[in-house]
Amino acid sequence: METTAIFADRALTPFEEIVEPVVIVEGSKIAAIGRRGKLPAPRGAREISAAGKTIVPGFVDVHIHGAGGHDVMEGEVRALEIVAATVARHGTTSLVATTVTASEEQTCHSVAGIARFILRRRDSSPRAASAEILGIHLEGPFISRTRRGVHPEQWIAAPSTALLSRIVAEALGTALILTLAPELPGALELIAAARNAGLVVSLGHTDASYDQARAAISAGARHAAHVFNAMRPFSHRETGVLGAVLTSPEVSAELIADGVHVDAAAMQMLFALKTPERVILVSDGTSATGMPDGQYQLGTFAVTVSGGVCRNTEGKLAGSTLTLDRALRNVVALGVPLPEALRMVTTNPARQLGLGARKGVLAPGADADLVLLDDNLDVSGVMTRGAGPYSVSPRNSR
């Protein structure tokens, strides 16, 4: 097993700051991390200098549809490889492949393809920088027609435990998150079924009242998809799903911090109310991520990207071209301290998936998913499960 010692100026684990750190990597895992001088590099170790850099854990994206011209719903090896490689250049070392609402046949076909890909690659180290696909986030089909955003209306389905079982069976144990609208008849039963299947239940694309959302949280919902977007708007007399999400500490909140989906003041409200432990930055990235402006697919429908903003034919926002390195910079620019902003792309999503010891943290025994940041918080290097570090040209795309 190859041993590598990486020396840098600083590390953020992100719970702790280590000045002049050395990270020892053995195979695909972090073996040790400590201060240079206190932690000797093992004899024969490959030594890598990352002078001037900060080492942080690789980012974990729990809501991403595609990148590099491909959508995860293609379900094909090459498409998934391109998605995983594209986001790795932006520091994302793990992702949860996110479906959009589609026909039962299409959903099952996509989910089966993604599951095969995941199971075939599990426990193998990549040969180039590549994010690990941890599992599948089912965004739909059990969502609100009123708050569907760009999800195709014809494929929206009423909550059905039978349909969920079929999709989960196709996922071969890789289904991790289900985003649903809790106000739909039968939603509470569906939440119970999803929890029994080991899924994190997420409130999203929903027109729920406060009481309906609270009932779902009592039934075990613990997450909310792209908070503020595709949700009933807040009113001080009927606070709706937002009132429930913002005041329930057991619920973590996804945020698309691209500066387009959510206004800065609303982002500040979210940080204040949810605290830095309960905010999870997501990309909601589409196949247009890392690509020039033009025409792309999101799931099964066409979207247009102009100035980096992704919209459908009616002009509705349709996912994003955001990457988590940019989301991190945007949040820091709002005044959030770097260690807190980092938690929102590392430990918070990893813990929500029950992977807090393996992902999103610099600690012995964790996967060697490392990102090297320069002073501007641009990604200059990335190591994925012990492979690399590969150097990345700063701001290699928007």
How far apart, in whole angstroms, are the C-alpha atoms of residue 210 and residue 69?
Answer: 39
Burial class for 192, CB neighbours closer than 10 Å (0-12, 13-18, 19+): middle
How far apart, in whole angstroms, are the C-alpha atoms of residue 236 and residue 312?
Answer: 31
Q: C-alpha 359: how far from its chain's center? A: 12
Beta bridge partners of 66: 71
How far apart, in whole angstroms, are the C-alpha atoms of residue 294 and residue 370?
Answer: 32
Cα-based torsion angle of the residue sequence 376, 92, 256, 76 in order, rounded to the nearest 10 degrees? 140
DSSP 72: G
Do residues 285 and 258 touch, judged by C-beta distance below 8 A? no
Active site residue: 61, 71, 284, 378, which one? 284
Cα separation values, 351 from 19, 74, 128, 209, 356, Å: 26, 28, 26, 28, 4
How far apart, in whole angstroms, are the C-alpha atoms of residue 382 and residue 380?
Answer: 7
Q: At what angle do helices 264-274 and 240-247 cross, to 10 degrees?
A: 50
Active site residue 369: no
How far apart, in whole angstroms, are the C-alpha atoms of residue 302 and residue 322?
Answer: 18
Task: State the catalytic residues.
Answer: 284
